Chain A
Amino acid sequence: MSAHLLSLIAAGGLDTLTYWCLAFLIASGLTVVFGMLGFLNVAHTSFYMLAGYIALSITAGTGSFWLALLLAPLLVVVLGLAAERLLFRHLYVAGHTPQLLLTIGLAYVIGEATQMIWGDDALSVAPPTGLGGHVVILGATLPVYHLFVIAITLGLVALLAALVGGTRLGMVVRAAATHPQMVDALGFKLRRVHTLVFLIGLYLAAIAGVIMTPMIGVYPGMADDALIQAFIVVVAGGLGSLAGAFAVAGLLGLVQGFGSVFFADYAMFFPFIVLAGVLLVRPLGLFGARSGR
């Protein structure tokens, strides 16, 4: 195998893993909340965008990307909690139409408020010191920052897996996903479990929003762009399926990673081809079992 091809594969592989991580971070909360609560949140990626903008301001104000990475997602979670208390909570049993309408309205408001505060130009952020460089792997010069994105995602997912799989709280969450009435009957506060799951989903999306900023910057349309990708992940993965979201995020990473190396002009179409391809083979999505509610 030629060295050139090897280096292309290394570059494509790293991009694949990076986009896989980001797509999964963004979409996982959306699909889990949909699976557990039947709640479709169009404003999900608006919170992701908000995290990116807040991180930009924190980085600019304090000079520390790390502080932004710590604080911005927490701030977004607080805002999410407020939205959940004021708005979303009343929608869990309301059916999809009011959910879609109100979260569309919220997405409008967040999008416009963001432009009011930060303006409507695309803004960029430099990667934190130490992560701005490049390493040479298999003859390819690769950005260190992408390795950091992968590491932080793996760390978060491992932490969550340990939390959900190995603690008492995680046990309640798992039970609430499959047997909500029983969990309720046993005296657990189902609402709190739901709020917790919702906030964890937002937190993951917000993390994605922050770590995305040194790669693509922030811009007013980023919520819409991410929403389309996230919907593709959720639909092709099977509504409510975390495993499906994981698999399809991987496929999107793959077409993004290698597609942008070999067929850069058509890269924008690949997510749709993935969606169409998956739905042709499995009309309910990769791991879809139930009918969409």
Chain B
Amino acid sequence: MTIPGKLGPVLSALDAERGRGRAGEALATFLLLAAIAGAPWFLSEAALNDLSQAILFGLFATSFNIVFKYSGLLSFGHAAFFGIAAYGEALLLEAFPAVPVPLLVLAAAAGAGLLGLLLGHVCVRRAGAYFSMTTLAIGAFFYTVAFKWHAVTGGTDGLSTFMPTALVLLPGWLLASPSIAQTYELSVVFLIPVALAARLVLERSSFGNAVQMIRQNEERAAFLGYDTHRVKLGNYGLAAFVAGTAGALWAIVNGFVSTDSIDLTLSTTVIIMTFIGGSQWFWGPLLGSIIYVFGSDRLSAFTPHWQLWMGLVFILLVLVFPRGVAGLPGMLFGKLIGGRDG
């Protein structure tokens, strides 16, 4: 399409810039995912252990960001979905050790997704601070359940004896006492397709368009006939499913589930991870989680009070680079060509 007049060159320049951005983004995505998938071949066991935590928290952060980036809602109790699925996976593994693991992960994640649809009825109706405060209360409620319901969750002791002697990957394919590299690859096999599918749904489907439109102008979307509540609810359920996948895998990788996987600290940590990486890039939270986990590992070698420094770094980051690490290339590039900070 040619656009006449003065605007033509400007728009095509913008298009070209956007095209370059897209190519760069695709390359960055490919490199990040390829590095994650290939990590067992070039990382030490200790580093791989860190990375396996990082990518699962990263998937969880991606879930947080699905609600934040696409619906504009900042959840303050997101650990509920991660934790419920982690406990659910532990209980399922204990009850059905012969059922293939993928089915159990799917079941735990679907449970978290359904819970998201249910709880979303209460919280997604309202935006802004109200949403954040309500989700905090919901998160705190599920933490309290996990803390108090000793018979099922083990209370503060947690659950640690649910791993079967051999994981049933597929009927007839058993994995006895898996190594870190094996559980790592198991999580990668789930993580990358789930995240890619979620991204596809949000960026390329009509549902995703509706979600984004509602964030931009809810009133107009409602006038156009969208049931805005249901669309936001659907997105919240999708995010809860993704968080549930991460939680279920976390239970398998660690062989241990405690209130740490459902508490307020995890809900705030995931916010910090997301904004370190950058909320405006779909893979930013995953990147942020990797930076957070490895950064805190390095920091904790210097001082037991690494959270103090992490907090200070985070405050500075929000003030100076509100788009996080993933926003840096765009910022530098934008400055270089003197373009708008889109």
* Complex contact B310–A108 (CB within 8 A): yes
Contacts of A212 in B (CB 8 A): none
* Complex contact A272–B132 (CB within 8 A): no
Which one of A92-100, A143-151, A176-184, A187-195 is at the interface?
A: A92-100
Say if the beta carbon of A2 comes within 8 Å of chain B: no
* Complex contact A235–B137 (CB within 8 A): yes
* Complex contact B307–A235 (CB within 8 A): no
The contact string, 1 if C-beta is below 8 Å from chain B, for chain A 200-237, is 00000000000000000000000010011001101100
* Complex contact A102–B318 (CB within 8 A): yes
* Complex contact B318–A112 (CB within 8 A): no
The contact string, 1 if C-beta is below 8 Å from chain A, for chain B 115-159, is 000000010011111111110110011001101100000000000
CB distance from A224 to the nearest CB of B (A): 5
Residue of A105, A227, A228 touching B311 (CB-CB under 8 A): A105
Task: Tell me the residues in window 262-287 of chain A with beta carbons closer than 8 Å to chain B beta carbons.
Answer: 265, 268-269, 272, 275-276, 279, 283
* Complex contact B137–A228 (CB within 8 A): yes
Say if the beta carbon of A111 comes within 8 Å of chain B: yes
* Complex contact B128–A293 (CB within 8 A): yes
Residue of A100, A239, A272 touching B144 (CB-CB under 8 A): A272
* Complex contact B128–A231 (CB within 8 A): no
* Complex contact A113–B315 (CB within 8 A): no
Say if the beta carbon of A1 comes within 8 Å of chain B: no
* Complex contact B140–A101 (CB within 8 A): no
Say if the beta carbon of B264 comes within 8 Å of chain A: yes
Residue of A40, A108, A239 touching B268 (CB-CB under 8 A): A108
A108 touching B129 in the complex, CB below 8 Å, given contacts A96-B74, A228-B136, A279-B122: no
Q: What is the bound-complex CA distance between A279 and B76, given in angstroms?
A: 18
Q: What is the bound-complex CA distance between A224 and B136, given in angstroms?
A: 11
Task: Tell which of A98, A231, A272 has the most Cβ of chain B within 10 Å.
Answer: A231
Contacts of A232 in B (CB 8 A): 137
CB distance from A223 to the nearest CB of B (A): 10
Q: What is the bound-complex CA distance between A268 and B275, given in angstroms?
A: 32
Contacts of A276 in B (CB 8 A): 122
The contact string, 1 if C-beta is below 8 Å from chain A, for chain B 263-294, is 01100100110010000000000000000000
Residue of B125, B127, B131, B314 touching A108 (CB-CB under 8 A): B314
Residues of B in contact with A, size category: 35 or more
A272 touching B271 in the complex, CB below 8 Å, given contacts A40-B132, A98-B318, A292-B129: no
* Complex contact B308–A112 (CB within 8 A): yes
Say if the beta carbon of A34 comes within 8 Å of chain B: yes
When C-beta atoms are compared, the residue in chain A nearest to B316 turns out to be: A105
Q: What is the bound-complex CA distance between A18 and B203, given in angstroms?
A: 53
* Complex contact A268–B137 (CB within 8 A): no
* Complex contact B315–A96 (CB within 8 A): no
Q: What is the bound-complex CA distance between A234 and B129, given in angstroms?
A: 11
* Complex contact A97–B74 (CB within 8 A): yes
* Complex contact B268–A235 (CB within 8 A): no
Q: What is the bound-complex CA distance between A98 and B321, given in angstroms?
A: 12
Q: What is the bound-complex CA distance between A231 and B140, given in angstroms?
A: 11
Say if the beta carbon of B1 comes within 8 Å of chain A: no
Q: What is the bound-complex CA distance between A106 and B132, given in angstroms?
A: 17
Residue of B122, B128, B134, B145 touching A96 (CB-CB under 8 A): B128
Q: What is the bound-complex CA distance between A107 and B141, given in angstroms?
A: 21
When C-beta atoms are compared, the residue in chain B nearest to A292 turns out to be: B130
Residues of B near any A CB (own CB < 8 A): 74, 76, 122, 125-134, 136-137, 140-141, 144-145, 147-148, 264-265, 268, 271-272, 275, 305, 307-308, 310-312, 314-315, 318-319, 322
Given contacts A269-B148, A291-B130, 18 further A-B contacts (CB under 8 A): A40-B132, A96-B129, A97-B74, A100-B132, A100-B271, A104-B271, A104-B272, A104-B314, A105-B272, A106-B311, A107-B311, A109-B312, A112-B307, A227-B136, A227-B264, A228-B264, A275-B137, A276-B122
